Amino acid sequence: METRESSELGDEKLVALARSGQRGAFELLMERYKQKAYRIAFDFTRDREEAKDLSQEAFLRAYIHLKDFDQRASFYTWFYRILVNLCLDHRRRGKRISWQSLEDKNDKVPGAGEVPDNTSSPDEEAIAEELSRKVLSALAALPPRQRTAFILKNHQGLAIHEIAKVMQTAEGTVKAHLHRAVVTLRQSLAEPA
């Protein structure tokens, strides 16, 4: 497949080509969504290697089950549903999400937690680290469906209708999960440590 032409193809056409046996078409879909997939997995695990493994596993499962893909949904919502379910299963299996301190996070993700203004004082850095710890802890404490909706909306920028497709639920339910998540996060962050 020629790169310029293939980049202009929509997901539906690439899925059709992949179903007909053209592996290159599925590779283009992977290329198109690998960064978003990694970020979603990282938002769940906070571990680079686990995020890579989970996103790769999701692509593998999508490839294996591509023949079962019902094209009433878009490819990316179908794929993200696979990925989110894998992430939730990963957590349920007892692999606790390790919400690192800001220092640990800096070691794992390039650029994460870096303060663009180098004039911050040690006190400001300590406050920022404590705030980061509290936010990550509060997010980890949310029920899985609220956390999923919150991550997909606020970290991945998906629209309500897209989140509803990924979570296989009604848009109103997604809105309720988001509302409850925000209320819980506000309460958790308002409480003194």
Structural domain boundaries of the chain?
8-98, 121-193
What's the fold here for domain 121-193? Arc Repressor Mutant, subunit A (1.10.10)
Average pLDDT taken over every residue of the chain: 79
pLDDT for res 30:
93
Structure-token pair, residue 10? 């929509």
Task: State the DSSP code for 191.
Answer: S
pLDDT for res 38:
93
Tell me how far apart the alpha carbons of residues 48 and 2 are, in angstroms, rounded to a whole number: 32
pLDDT digits (tens, 9 = 90+) for 90-131: 887 864 444 443 344 444 444 444 444 445 577 777 776 776
Query: Would you call 152 helix, strand, or coil by DSSP?
Result: helix
Tell me how far apart the alpha carbons of residues 40 and 79 are, in angstroms, rounded to a whole number: 12
* Helix or strand holding residue 174 (H, E): helix 171-190
pLDDT for res 93:
80
Buried-exposed string 25-49: b where 16+ CB fall within 10 A, e elsewhere: bbbbbbebbeebbbebbbbbbbbee
Is the CB of residue 156 less than 8 Å from the CB of residue 36? yes
Least confident of 77-81, 82-86, 113-117: 113-117
Banded pLDDT at 158 (limits 50, 70, 90): confident
Torsion from C-alpha of 162, 65, 90, 92, nearest 10 degrees: 80
* Tokens 């962050």 belong to residue: 189
According to CATH, what is the number of the domain 8-98? 1.10.1740.10
